[in-house]
Chains A and B, each alone.
Chain A
Amino acid sequence: MASARSQDSTPGAFISRLFYRESTLGPILLSPGFIFLAVMMAYPFIYAVFLSFTDKVTGGAPTFNGLENYQKLFSTDLFRKTVVNSVVYTVFALVLKFLGGLGLASVLNRPFVGIRYAKALMLLPWIMPTVFSTMIWQWILAPGFSVANVVLVDKLHLFAEPLPFLRDETLSMASLIGINIWRGLPFFAITFLAAIQGVSTEILEAAKIDGATPWGAFWRVTFPIILPVVIVVILISTIGTLGDFDLPYLLTRGGPNNSTTLFSLTAFTLTFNSGLIGIGAAVTMTMFPLLIVLIVSSLIMVRRRQQG
């Protein structure tokens, strides 16, 4: 008996027991992921929250300054422009990606010759590294050597003068939104297509027998069924689009006249180019209320839909 007890208390036996019990196995299996998230996500996030309430600059020690960074930020044109630009960029890009993705998915849902190639080609903008694709767009829209202008003005004669894609504030934002749509549309289309193909043909047949038009069947039968997928895709894309950095950084640097600077780019330039780390952290924090509202409302919608 004494011998059995001593065997039970060996480290190996103890570990075996931990893995055997359900109450301990779960936490053990979760712990690597939890530790990773805590170290790589939670700690930087909490540290950024802390920095946003300090006067931290490059090479200086952080001193708590309450809401001063936020007060300063809210009274600058730069921040006002950043908020407006980010909202315009996100709303336009999302609406157009949603409509385009839905349309493209509907087209790809019908068989036609070369559909496989069409699907593969459609994915190209999405799988291409952003740095590479943005460099191509830079070349297409570049001042002086715009390929787009050569086509629109010299070849098609649609415009008398070259369009100032990266010179005009409105056109610069439109160019940015256009490229975001070009890059993100495949994700919407392919996800919507998978969801549409998951809709039971029997339900659609039943709708047809009941006299539903193709349009009516889509909006009243197919769309409500794929709605949870739609909401999740929009949610993921909203987070990515609102926090987009690489595209404006590479294409416009936030210009002209700060007309294309978004949250991440403003935070980056204030932090790394200007050394204002506390202020930069405050910019990133201002994104969160907006994101939290979006995430919570989307999740509530999905849950209600699933319960319904």
Chain B
Amino acid sequence: MKEKNSVSRRKFLKGAGVVAVGAGATALAACAPAAAPAPTAAPAKPAAPAPVVLKGATINWLGGSWSFLPELDPVISDFAKDWATQNGVTINFERESTNLAAKIQTAIETGKGANIIQLADAPAGWAKSLADVSTVAEKLSAEGGGYLPAAPFQCNDGSKWIALPLGQHNWFMNYRADWFKEAGYDKFPDNFDDLLAAGTKLKAAGHPFGWTMGDKAGGDGNASPYIILWGFGGKEFNPDGSIALDSKETLAALDYFIKFHKQAGDPEEIAYDDGANNTNFNQGKISLTANVNTIYLPAKKNFPAVAEGMNHAIPPKGPAGRFGACTLPWWGILNHTKGADLDAAKAYIGDFMAMKNLGKFYKAGQGYILPLLPKYDSEDIWPSDPKLAIAKEMFKLALPAGYALKNQNKLASLMQSKLIVGKMFAQAAILNDSRKALDGALKDIADLKLLA
């Protein structure tokens, strides 16, 4: 296995990386509605790699299984098996879904066990325990035409890369095109006002919307609220790190959701967990939700009538523009990994995430996980099913939680883990009072700031 190790070049790339991250973050903060964020770094020519001895190294990989799309697990495992054989490295996989954070904490505190971890929450929360993977990130970024801003925003702490994004989950509008048509909508509504009007009609016809809000869904609940919040111009942070949530734009977003919930929403949408919108959609209880493709793919097998009647769309436009929400699953190397094991871990990730290999992962996901490198635009990784064609439109549109920080920080990660924004929307609907809900969220944030 090979890895570049030219010191002077590394220094150069680090400097370039910092500039690139700054540029990317600025682009993210200033992301104009519906505008594709600019790539972060100009592609650099890879330096001549020097040989690194990997034989005999051991990598322990710890992460959740891809429970919503199990076809992805073998893509990772099969590559690892071949790569391990070719390089004389032992790779052990441990897939843990229910107690992953505790297992990772144990590995960190004991300095033993996992070397590579896979998570979907913000790496900023684990920053003290993650090794610098800037060399790998810069190589991958260069190969793919420069990471989209969401990648350095989440995986770079401002001075170095602490994690490597595997891709991004984008939340598409999953809607029942057949019911929308019955209600007089041949096309998916382009803005939030039209969406509310459509939802009012559809709820009256017995087909409410199901927009996951609240504090029970760590996946959907950390994406759905942002589509509305950002669409109305609200945001959690200013670029300097100060809290920006207390604004008339946030109140406008909350007011909208109060109406949306009353007139168009399933009463239970504010108590959904991550599986509830999938189940309700496939059971014909709701006509719209924000989700990845994990409603449609199972529906094709198990609920063909639903699959036939549904379609996907990009999120509607609000007064501040059109925003998609994404979360970035990532891999990181725990910083107790040293010597040959560290070299092997970096080499393995670098090879797996190289475009020719990671492309297979994206292809298998059929839109479930999308790339963060613009060169994939022309690669054969996109879903062939026309109902998932919007994946290509979405992948440059979405932002992760924490907007408009320069880089996600510890507080942003805590706010995600406590689902503060989703809870704020749910509370607004419950209390029928935007101000009280916002005050509650601000108090929650103040508590988190105090504790952290």
Contacts and interface: CB of A to CB of B under 8 A. Distances in A.
Interface in A173-187: none
A276 B270 CA distance: 28
B289 to A, nearest CB: 11
Given A255-B216, A256-B215, A58 B128 contact: yes
A59 B215 contact: no
Contacts of B127: 59
A257 to B, nearest CB: 6
B451 A58 contact: no
Interface in A266-283: 269-277, 279
B77 to A, nearest CB: 26
Interface size band for B: 35 or more
A256 B128 contact: no
A182 B226 CA distance: 39
Nearest to B283: A145
Contacts of A270: 451
Contact of A144 (B214, B285, B418, B451): B285
8 contacts: A59-B335, A75-B450, A77-B447, A143-B268, A164-B268, A255-B216, A256-B270, A273-B121
Interface stretch (B36-44, B272-280, B293-301): B272-280
A60 B128 CA distance: 7
A171 to B, nearest CB: 10
B105 interface: yes
A145 B280 contact: yes
Interface residues of A, number: 35
A274 B414 contact: yes
A167 B431 CA distance: 12
Contacts of B178: none
- Which 5 A/B pairs are nearest by Cβ-Cβ distance? A59-B129, A143-B268, A59-B128, A167-B271, A255-B215
A277 B452 CA distance: 10
B176 interface: no
A271 B271 contact: no
A78 interface: yes
Interface in A229-260: 252-258
B415 to A, nearest CB: 10
B283 A275 contact: no
Contacts of B451: 72-73, 76, 78, 270, 274, 276, 279
A164 B271 contact: yes
A256 B271 contact: yes
Given A145-B283, A252-B216, A272-B105, A76 B450 contact: yes
Interface string B118-144: 000100011111000000000000000
Contacts of A164: 267-268, 271
A167 B283 CA distance: 20
A279 B214 CA distance: 25
A290 B270 CA distance: 35
A73 B272 CA distance: 29
A257 B440 contact: yes
A270 B101 CA distance: 11
A94 interface: no
Contacts of B443: 77
B399 interface: no
A190 interface: no
Interface in A115-141: none
Given A144-B210, A257-B215, A274-B418, 10 more contacts: A58-B105, A58-B108, A59-B335, A162-B268, A253-B216, A271-B105, A274-B414, A274-B448, A275-B126, A279-B451
Contacts of A147: none
B202 to A, nearest CB: 16
